[in-house]
Amino acid sequence: MRVQHLMGFLSATVLLNTTVSATEIPTLTNEGLHLGRLKAAEVTDGFAVKVDVNDDNIKETYVTARFQNNTPRQRTSSGYWQPWNERWETLQDNAFAATEDGTLTFQIIDENLSENFLPIVFTIAYRTNDGVKSGYVVID
């Protein structure tokens, strides 16, 4: 699976190839914020997650996925998916950076997910001096 560029918006949380008005951009938490659930049919050209970093000093960013077969994977900074042992210290930095407006966009995937074994749970996270903040979205 290769991750490349994205197309458009679904909401403030999940970016897709359609535009829907957004009310507020979510902020990740130390406990892990549920960012929503999407149908695979809605994710035809890929998606990303946009979050408010709330002035956090971001050290590293991470993206993981858990597929129906319960196999954990991590996204590399090149956009490839590889096996992951579920230990935070082994995650590879995806090098996503916050923009001047204080938001951070995690570019997750640009593929049609309808041919994958579903559900897939994508977790996004970033590390600060104070720990790791994360959130997750479910595709089914």
Q: What's the pLDDT tens digit per position in 84-104? A: 999 989 999 999 999 999 999
String of DSSP letters for 13-43:
SEE-SS----S-----BSS-EEEEEE-GGG-
Task: Spell out the domains of the chain, with CATH numbers in brackets.
Answer: 14-139 (2.60.40)
Question: Which long-range contacts (C-beta less than 8 Å, at least 24 apart) are formed by 29-35?
Answer: 29/133, 29/134, 29/135, 30/131, 30/132, 30/133, 30/134, 32/123, 32/134, 32/135, 32/136, 33/134, 33/135, 33/136, 34/135, 34/136, 35/124, 35/135, 35/136, 35/137
Whether 15 has a pLDDT exceeding 80, the answer reads no
Q: What's the pLDDT tens digit per position in 25-49? A: 999 999 999 999 988 877 777 788 9
Q: How much is the average pLDDT of 120-132?
A: 94
∠ Cα 26 29 33 (to 5°): 65
Whether 132 has a pLDDT exceeding 90, the answer reads yes
Whether 21 has a pLDDT exceeding 50, the answer reads no
